[in-house]
Structure 1
Amino acid sequence: MSGPLLEEEWNKVGLTLLSSDEDRTLVLFSSSDELAEFRRKLTAFGDGAPPGQINPSFAGFIANIESIGEVAPRDRIGVRAREAGLVDVEDFQPGTAYVIDIELWDIGRRELRERKVDDIVRYAEARGAQELDRHVGPNLTLVRLRCDGAVARTLLTIEEVADLDFPAEPDVTSAERIDLTLDDLPDLEPLDDEAPLIGIIDSGINDHPLIEDIIVGSIAIPDTLGTADDHGHGTFVGGIATFGDLRAQLAARTLNRHARLCSAKIIDSTGNFPTNRLTPRLMREAVTRLNAEFGCRIFVIALGDRTKVVENGKVGPWAQTLDELVRELDVVIIVAAGNRQPRHGLHVEKAVTEYPAYLMESANRLCEPAGGLNIITVGAIAHGTGLNARAQDNVGVRAITEAFEPSPFSRAGPGAQGAIKPDFTDIGGTLIYDGPNAALQGGEVHREAGVISLHYRPIDRLFAARSGTSHAAPLVAFKASQILAQFPDASANLVRALLAGSATIPEEASHRLAPLGATAEFALCGHGQVDSERASFSDDARVVLYAEDELAIDHFAIYQIPIPEAFQTVRGRRTIRVSLAYDPPVRHSRLDYSGLSMDFRLIRGCNSDLVFEHYRQRTQAEGPVPDMENRFNCKLTPGPTLREKSSLQTASVTFSRDISAYGDSYFLVVRCAGGWAGDTGQQGFAVTIEISHEAEIALYERLRQRIRVRL
């Protein structure tokens, strides 16, 4: 297809969509060889426009079809086989034995698929193959064979075969790391007393031997809860917040902490809030006390209300309270997007066969408080397949994801008033399909499927594994703390802007989500995965300029951006990326949740007088604002319609040709527009500009002097 996939239109002509790929290739199945209705529409389209019509009949459907053909045998070769160099049928060598997994299309009733598996196995066994395992479920049909390459070549020609691939390789090292003892661990590096502080608002944090010396304080609300973690969630979240990727550290034989911890216990051993406190009041007390008593400025709230999802851009009192606290206290609050088990019961196999389409279902929207505007919301991507050793022996144990693809449980935006949410995504583990048990299982059952962090009962075990967006959120807090370590006086807005300016959506996620349309990337990954090194440092060929400032409503600021000659003329891809963060007043009872709005434009090729004249306020007598030529306005992506719904915005423009005609100075215009919050006074904000060149040219020295002009 060259346009929309139009699944409903295909259904109308008797065709069932079996699969869709990122290049908009569809695989369709028909129960009839005649395809009568489809042929009728093709003929009507080919006859041209009927009298009185501009376009041929069914043009919206047929014109989007680029080409039609049959599935070729080479199209059935799976990813792992292709990665091993077997990209064509002839690459399977006669005389060489292969262990292969064959998946059939979901083409009908279970009995029909069972008969087809029997036929395939009888044929293969007659040619010397051996059946090792099979799984026939409500939607998933798999068989594992050991066979000669000549047999594999023939099996690739069978129409009902969807995929022929090598079995996945399990991750056996994760389980080994979880079973490490203190004697097995490398020396624990000391942490500076001035290291950033992260507040964990959860089930408490226990005195685990790997963090007991860096817990600066703990509170409980109410006090009767006690501060000990008897649920396990808080200690696990805290371990990620200070260690980051503990799996990678253990593999590298290092143990480095990067942040100190403080804790507010607000849930009991069953994972529930106290019944005698309203949730917004509970949140306000926890954040304000940790801020006042310990000076904490980064908070992780890896909790959510899955019974309340963001609908029609409306959020609740919990989200509003957190957004207010960000503005009042100048703090960074990081929350999880929330989790959802994608399929249950008889439909559990569809978690494999319908991935990732179900991630965009309305039931999978963000849950409260993840839709908030000023807080940072984090979704999850997988670290890999999550398969364990059992997958080697059981064809019915199947992966859903590959590395850096959206986790099957992660929820989707948008957030309040249609804002891009989640803001970021990071590693949160995955789920696997356990065919023999007809269940989806994460790190809590299969260690390899989860994120590794600290066990809340270290006497029993030092480490544990879990899957969830709750474990991606503290990873972003870990990265935020590294920014604060470099810029201890930075505002919360600057921390947010630097995070956004460093984030990119993993290519693997982009490819997997491409069939779902352009909005799916933002809805599940936001601005992407944060690169903490990129957020905290410049280098020779990549420079970040920043400003922290204030604007009154209906005012604007202009920043003059020096553009070195080498950036203008040296061949190669050159990028300017702008990020803006502000913390407006909010009110959840209003459709226009934010009390004011801010935006930015990047102008080039003209002088500052023209820019000032274009953006200044005018009296009614002066008439409308004069147009500015499009050539002066850098076309940033994403565009203003999408990005300006958010209080955290980032967009970029890339050049590949000589741009010296536009001069050596660009102008960044930041505007503040009024809404219902007319008495706000000055609105604080932070803006960052990253200027980078793919060639190794010395931009940093040429850009050390920042030039700023303000109205």
Structure 2
Amino acid sequence: MEDDWEGVGLRLLSSDDDNTLVLFSSTEELTEFRRKLAAYAGPKPAGQKDRSFAGFIDRIESVSTLEPRDRLGIRLLERGFTGATDFQDNEIYLVDIELWDFAGAPARRRKAEEIGAFVEARNGEVFDTYVGPSLTIMRVQAPGQALRPVLSVPEVALIDHPPEPDLEAQPVVEMALEDLPAAEPVSPDAPIVAVLDSGINAHPLLEDVLIASETFDTGLSAADIWGHGTKVGGAAVFGDLRDQIASGQLRKSVRLVSAKIITDDGQFYDRRTLPNLMRTVFRGLNERYGCRIFVLSLGDKKSWFERGRVGPWAMTLDELARELDVLVFVSAGNRSPRGGNVVEQGVTQYPQYLLEEANRIFEPSGAANVVTVGSLSHGSGLAAQHRDDAHVRAITAGPNEPSPFTRAGPGAGGITKPDFSDLGGTMLFSAVTRSLQSAPIVPEAGITTLNHDFVRQLFTSASGTSIATPLLARKAALLLQRFPEASANLVRALLAGAASFPDEMTTRLQAMDALETASVVGNGLVDPVKAVYSDDHRVIYFAEDQLDIDKFAIYRIPIPVEFQTGGKRTIRISLAYDPPVRRTRADYLGTKMDFRLIRGCPVDHISNFFRSHAGQESTHPDMPPRYDCDLKPSKTQRGGNTLQTGSITFTKDTLDYGNEYHLVVRCMGGWATDELRQRFAIVVELEHQIGVQLYARLRPRLRT
């Protein structure tokens, strides 16, 4: 514990989830610590069972001194730096030097001044210094010969390149209609996205897209007075407008229906229960306009999710998703991570605070049959004017790291939530205002979208999971455009099969285990092109089916010779189903499903094995390990989810297992009745290295 270290004259500077501690001593003698080590190493005191101070020292696995390489930041590491010697004598570097919180602000300021004087005496320059209650940062430009010795200063925590400024958003936000690039008309058969929010105004860029605006309170107009719904609708149609404007062409991908369910002051209707309102809106828009994609970038911030249970709102959405076979996209919710006297911890404790109990998802984002969306940063959020200002700190270094405000799961019954993450902006720490800032105050920190008050300004910048949610719904619309008859389960499974963890995300969350990572970012970021199309070296199979309770299906997966050799190959399986739900039950889901990938085993043997286990187990039986492919995430981690994905990668030859694998999908009973037939969709992806012609080889075998 921290008090134990203070008792031996050491100050705890940092602790990681893997139990690594960084400790600081103001003296080199470490007198009390050495005394305890010496006593521990000596003979046992008479009458004692253990050595002296064994309870303290036995818990220490190893002790070492921080080396210069331990102080290299992530951007320097990405550039190939491995130690102090990589700094070249006469090359000029722009870096941030961060000090440990080793003492009070006056002591840290003195140390910063000492380092600054050392650097300036060697032809360097200190641009800026910030000393706060716990954070100390210097912005320095200096030759390598001046920086190498700084890496050995005990009080220095990190040296790294400053975050790169983002593409400036302000000029885009301030653009006039006549300055915009040409806009492609929307396809007349483009999927319709229903946005349940504060309304959507008749923005000039939506004139051929917004096909209907409805209100569900007779006392209100359909106009977006609150200003949230137009931002969400704009993100669903265009994505990030900065990217579109930079490309020189505005492309509209969906049509919109606006359902105003929020009053002009941002509240739910007083006279309607949310379950009743949801049923009225969903059924009405589905019947009148054929809406199959619904976006709810809203949450009940007074009712955060209790582990294992959901509220009436979430259960109603689960029921509607199943009854109407529709896709429901719900935002995970937002939280400003720190404020007041500890606002700097928004920088220093990122991303650990994303796992705090106070950061759990809001109702209704714990629902099982809906798609819950978390947020990723699109960049650092810094503008060009922040380049030489150490008083403004980025929390995220660049794209695809979890947004500092995104909320984490799990969801109903411990299922993985969010399901996916998409771009939703970031935050900055401003030492001048002592606050965490985001869009629209800092336009670069957000996603550029449509402004509801378009007469005054066409565009605005917005941050939040409420913006990430329509961005993912837009990708789902691309799937429905390609496969208009696809079930909601199939679209969910295709999205899961095309999701991955970008390198930036993996690096930032490396201290978290697999379950913790999934609770923050779900299955990751979806690549819509991978979801929609096969490729020469990557083939996607899919099927939609139904199973009775306690029944199983076996699917043959052809494995050509080209896939059995030749380096890295991956098989990925994704399953989606929509069980009945009941929040009064301890087990929220009425059925459960799972899958196993079997290789090197005759199909009759597989069938007999699973038939022999029928009715005996509530969990999926496992064949001997020599047959069962070890998919990741593990069967335990994915087993309770209504959206599951698992993959296995081969690097060695697998010729001994033949040219067919088998996929077993099983439906396991819960409280649901035996008469139920559970719908599901399964997606299988085979991916080889580029250059291997898998698609042409497998296409003729499709019918078999």
TM class by shorter chain equals: over 0.9
Alpha carbons 1:561, 1:707 under 8 Å: kept: no
Pairing 1:334–2:329 present: yes
Distance 2:352 2:621 in 1: 45
Aligned-partner SS, 2:223: coil
The equivalent of 1:616 in structure 2 is 611
Deviation at 1:591, TM superposition (A): 2.2
The equivalent of 2:424 in structure 1 is 428
Alpha carbons 2:549, 2:677 under 8 Å: kept: yes
Show CA shifts across 1:325-367 (max 9, x none).
Answer: 1000000000111000000101000000111110000110111
Aligned-partner SS, 2:436: strand
**Number of equivalences:** 700
The equivalent of 2:481 in structure 1 is 485
Which amino acid letter does the alignment assign opposite residue 193 of structure 1? P
Distance 2:693 2:135 in 1: 55
Which amino acid letter does the alignment assign opposite residue 273 of structure 1? F
The equivalent of 2:113 in structure 1 is 118
Show CA shifts across 1:552-608 (max 9, x none).
Answer: 11111111111111111x311111111110000111222211011111111111111
Pairing 1:185–2:180 present: yes
Alpha carbons 1:560, 1:707 under 8 Å: kept: no
Distance 2:48 2:667 in 1: 50
Which amino acid letter does the alignment assign opposite residue 628 of structure 1? M
Deviation at 1:305, TM superposition (A): 1.4
The equivalent of 2:405 in structure 1 is 409
Pairing 1:587–2:611 present: no
The equivalent of 1:347 in structure 2 is 342
Alpha carbons 2:451, 2:457 under 8 Å: kept: yes
Show CA shifts across 1:215-237 (max 9, x none).
Answer: 11111111322111112211111
**Relative to structure 2, which stretch is displaced further, 117-126 or 349-358?**
117-126
The equivalent of 1:520 in structure 2 is 516
Show CA shifts across 1:389-418 (max 9, x none).
Answer: 342342110010022111100111111111
Deviation at 1:168, TM superposition (A): 3.4
Distance 1:641 1:53 in 2: 41
The equivalent of 2:22 in structure 1 is 27
Distance 1:480 1:39 in 2: 64
Give the % identical residues: 48
Pairing 1:660–2:655 present: yes
Which amino acid letter does the alignment assign opposite residue 378 of structure 2? H
Distance 2:479 2:635 in 1: 27
The equivalent of 1:602 in structure 2 is 597
Aligned-partner SS, 1:482: helix
Which amino acid letter does the alignment assign opposite residue 697 of structure 2? R
Aligned-partner SS, 1:498: helix
Distance 2:258 2:241 in 1: 20
The equivalent of 1:638 in structure 2 is 633
Q: 1:463 aligns with which of 459, 471, 476?
A: 459
Alpha carbons 1:42, 1:62 under 8 Å: kept: no
TM-score by length of 2: 0.92
Distance 1:92 1:701 in 2: 51
RMSD, matched Cα: 3.2
The equivalent of 1:258 in structure 2 is 253
Pairing 1:557–2:553 present: yes
Deviation at 1:300, TM superposition (A): 0.7
Q: 2:189 aligns with which of 190, 194, 200?
A: 194
Deviation at 1:263, TM superposition (A): 0.9
Alpha carbons 1:421, 1:522 under 8 Å: kept: yes
Deviation at 1:643, TM superposition (A): 0.5
The equivalent of 1:163 in structure 2 is 158
Structure 1 residues 203 and 83, CA gap change in structure 2 (3 angstroms) = same
Show CA shifts across 1:45-76 (max 9, x none).
Answer: 9999x9999999979986884x5432233433
Show CA shifts across 1:651-692 (max 9, x none).
Answer: 011111111111111111111111111255211111111111
**Relative to structure 2, which stretch is displaced further, 148-157 or 440-449?**
148-157
Deviation at 1:463, TM superposition (A): 1.2
Alpha carbons 1:168, 1:391 under 8 Å: kept: no
Segments of structure 2 that go 5 or more residues without pairing to the other structure are none
TM-score by length of 1: 0.91
Deviation at 1:93, TM superposition (A): 5.0
Q: 2:543 aligns with which of 541, 547, 552?
A: 547
Structure 1 residues 51 and 497, CA gap change in structure 2 (3 angstroms) = farther
Aligned-partner SS, 1:610: helix
- 1:474-513 equivalences in 2 (<5 Å): 474-513=470-509
**Relative to structure 2, which stretch is displaced further, 332-341 or 68-77?**
68-77
**Relative to structure 2, which stretch is displaced further, 180-189 or 544-553?**
180-189
Deviation at 1:22, TM superposition (A): 9.7
